[in-house]
């Protein structure tokens, strides 16, 4: 069953703490409290509850290979089985079941030299599969790692920016080191948003800002913030690095002391090795949540086709929207793959019928996300052994 955590997000402070953890899942409670301008004891209590309840999960994933999106059309009644098989792959980043066609979509990390084997040997063996299509990702514009729903100001985001290297062995407490707290009140329902005006260029804007006209953007190469490295990782992980990664996959907020004991190295070495892996992009620390916790329960996948010369300009405007959680250029007939989350269906309707980026768009195919079996490289709780 697609069970969900039963605890609730209390208010806007809970959501702001979640957004802070999305920016840096290993940020100390002290740094989060300072960035948000909130009492540290309050942030510790709220943040610990979010982690211990499972509403927010912090994990790590090794970046091996390049991103490839897989869409699968399944035999009737077999979509869950197919999505489950994709989600359980160690190279799977996300796996969602959808309305329409395809029945499920996933992103895999696959070295380009292994792409032929993936397409011709591995995917045909997926249970329940009738047809699949493979879309290598040419460039990420935004991934879930960069998305935080526009709930923080630019100054708060800057204060939470991941440091170039860890500074203290005790800067990241484990969830179990903080006392349990009493439950907080349940969340106030998010009001319905009848339409989608414009999307502002600042992430601190309300969830429904105004959409500027689509600019003309000359191509000047990949943006500095691109998530994909220019090539495959140049080195293999050492045994100690693999042990660190395994511990972080279970709890992305392990203290450096805990990591050192797991890997059999000194605390300083654990701190240095993790810092190096994060800086070179070998390892990504991710905060995984359900968008509904941020007041965005309606998830959709958009397949966008534009004129080739307009694709970059359309992507620029789409990336400004706080609704857009993931945006990538992919191969195939539709150049842009968008994963988005909305407060309600009228907001989705407005986004795909009245936004200015549609003027340079040839077609938009929309599918609802029926269920997510994996997010950010972390299996859904009900699938974990």
SS3 per-residue string spanning the chain:
CCCCCCCCCCCHHHHHHHHHHHHCCCCCHHHHHHHHCCCHHHHHHHHHHHHHCCCCEEEEEECCCEEEEEEEEECCCCHHHHHHHHHCCCCEEEEEEECCCCCEEEEEEECHHHHHHHHHHHHHHCCCEEEEEEEEEEEEEECHHHCCCCCCCHHHHHHHCCCCCCCCCCCCCCHHHCCCCCCCCCCCCCCCCCCCCCCCCCCCCCCCCCCCCCCCCCCCCCCCCCCCCCCCCCCCCCHHHHHHHHHHHHCCCCCHHHHHHHHCCCHHHHHHHHHHHHHCCCEEEEEECCHHHHCCCEEEEEEEEECHHHHHHHHHHHHHCCCEEEEEEECCCCCEEEEEEECCHHHHHHHHHCCHHHHHEEEEEEEEEEEEEEECCEECHHHCC
Residue 243 and residue 367 in one domain:
no
Measured on CA atoms in the order 241, 247, 248, 254, is the torsion positive or negative? negative
Residue 220 and residue 248 in one domain:
no
Domain presence at residue 31: no
Domain presence at residue 303: yes
pLDDT attached to residue 200: 36
Domains identified in the chain, total number:
2
Dist CA 105 CA 7 (whole Å): 28
Residue 317 and residue 364 in one domain:
yes
Which CATH number covers residue 266? 1.10.10.10
- CA 98 from chain center: how many Å? 17
Residue 244 and residue 364 in one domain:
no
pLDDT attached to residue 33: 96
Residue 243 and residue 362 in one domain:
no
pLDDT attached to residue 278: 87
pLDDT attached to residue 382: 82
Q: How does 234-262 read in b/e, with b if 16+ C-beta sit within 10 Å?
A: eeebeebbebbbebbbebbbbbbebbbeb
pLDDT attached to residue 7: 53
Residue 297 and residue 250 in one domain:
no
Residue 313 and residue 351 in one domain:
yes
Residue 275 and residue 301 in one domain:
no
Domain presence at residue 201: yes
Residue 119 CA neighbour count, 13 Å, CB half: 12
Per-residue pLDDT of the chain (385 residues; tens, 9 = 90+): 455 554 566 688 999 999 999 888 999 999 999 999 999 999 999 999 999 988 899 988 887 789 999 999 999 999 999 999 999 998 999 999 999 999 999 999 999 999 999 999 999 999 999 999 999 999 999 887 778 777 888 899 888 874 433 333 333 444 333 333 333 334 344 444 444 443 333 333 343 344 344 444 333 333 333 334 444 544 578 888 889 988 998 889 999 999 999 999 999 999 999 988 888 888 888 888 889 888 899 999 999 999 999 999 999 999 999 999 999 999 999 999 999 999 999 999 999 999 999 999 999 999 999 999 999 888 988 887 5
Domain presence at residue 311: yes
Hey, how many other C-beta atoms are within 10 angstroms of the C-beta on 200?
Answer: 18
Strand partners, 336: 304, 329
Dist CA 39 CA 220 (whole Å): 44
Dist CA 197 CA 276 (whole Å): 42
Residue 299 and residue 336 in one domain:
yes
Residue 206 and residue 306 in one domain:
yes
Strand partners, 272: none
Do 68 and 94 form a contact (C-beta atoms < 8 A)? Answer: no
Dist CA 40 CA 288 (whole Å): 23
pLDDT attached to residue 169: 34
Structural domain boundaries enclosing 354: 192-227+293-371
Which CATH number covers residue 365? 3.30.70.920
Domain presence at residue 244: yes
pTM of the model as a whole: 0.75
Q: For the chain, how many residues are written? A: 385
Residue 204 and residue 272 in one domain:
no
Domain presence at residue 136: no
Domain presence at residue 25: no
Judging by DSSP bridges, how do beta strands 378-379 and 361-375 pair with one another?
Answer: antiparallel
Q: What are the backbone dihedrals phi and psi of residue 246, each rounded to the nearest 5 degrees, phi first?
A: -60, -45
Residue 322 and residue 348 in one domain:
yes
Domain presence at residue 316: yes
pLDDT attached to residue 8: 61
């Amino acid at each position: 069953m697609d069970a969900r955590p039963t605890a609730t997000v209390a208010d806007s402070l809970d959501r702001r703490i979640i957004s802070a953890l999305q920016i840096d899942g290993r940020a100390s409670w002290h740094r989060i409290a300072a960035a948000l301008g909130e009492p540290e004891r309050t942030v510790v209590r709220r943040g610990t509850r979010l982690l211990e309840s499972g509403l927010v999960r912090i994990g790590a994933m090794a970046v091996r290979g390049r991103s490839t999106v897989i869409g699968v059309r399944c035999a009737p009644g077999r979509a869950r089985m197919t999505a489950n098989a994709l989600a359980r792959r160690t190279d799977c980043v996300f796996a969602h079941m959808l309305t329409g066609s395809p029945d499920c979509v996933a992103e895999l990390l696959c070295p380009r030299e292994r792409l032929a084997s993936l397409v011709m040997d591995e995917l045909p063996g997926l249970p329940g599969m009738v047809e699949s299509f493979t879309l290598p990702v040419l460039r990420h514009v935004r991934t879930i790692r960069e998305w935080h729903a526009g709930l923080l100001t630019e100054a708060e985001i800057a204060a939470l920016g991941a440091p170039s290297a860890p500074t203290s062995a005790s800067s990241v407490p484990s969830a179990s080191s903080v006392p349990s707290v009493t439950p907080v009140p349940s969340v106030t329902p998010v009001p319905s948003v009848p339409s989608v005006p414009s999307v502002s260029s600042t992430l601190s804007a309300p969830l429904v800002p105004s959409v500027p006209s689509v600019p003309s953007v000359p191509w000047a190469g990949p943006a500095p913030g691109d998530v994909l490295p220019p090539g495959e990782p140049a080195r293999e992980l050492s045994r100690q690095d693999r042990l660190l990664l395994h511990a972080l996959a279970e709890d992305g907020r392990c203290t450096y002391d805990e990591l050192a004991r797991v890997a059999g190295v000194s605390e300083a070495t654990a701190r240095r090795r993790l810092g190096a892996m994060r800086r070179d992009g070998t390892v990504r620390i991710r905060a995984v949540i359900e968008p509904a916790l941020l007041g965005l329960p309606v998830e959709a996948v958009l397949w966008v086709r534009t004129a080739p010369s307009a694709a970059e300009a359309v992507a620029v405007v789409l990336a400004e929207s706080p609704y857009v959680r993931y945006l990538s250029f992919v191969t195939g007939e539709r150049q842009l793959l968008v994963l988005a989350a909305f407060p309600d269906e009228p907001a989705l309707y407005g986004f795909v019928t009245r936004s200015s980026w549609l003027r340079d768009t040839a077609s938009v195919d929309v599918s609802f996300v029926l269920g997510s079996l994996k997010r950010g490289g972390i299996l859904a709780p009900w699938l974990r052994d």
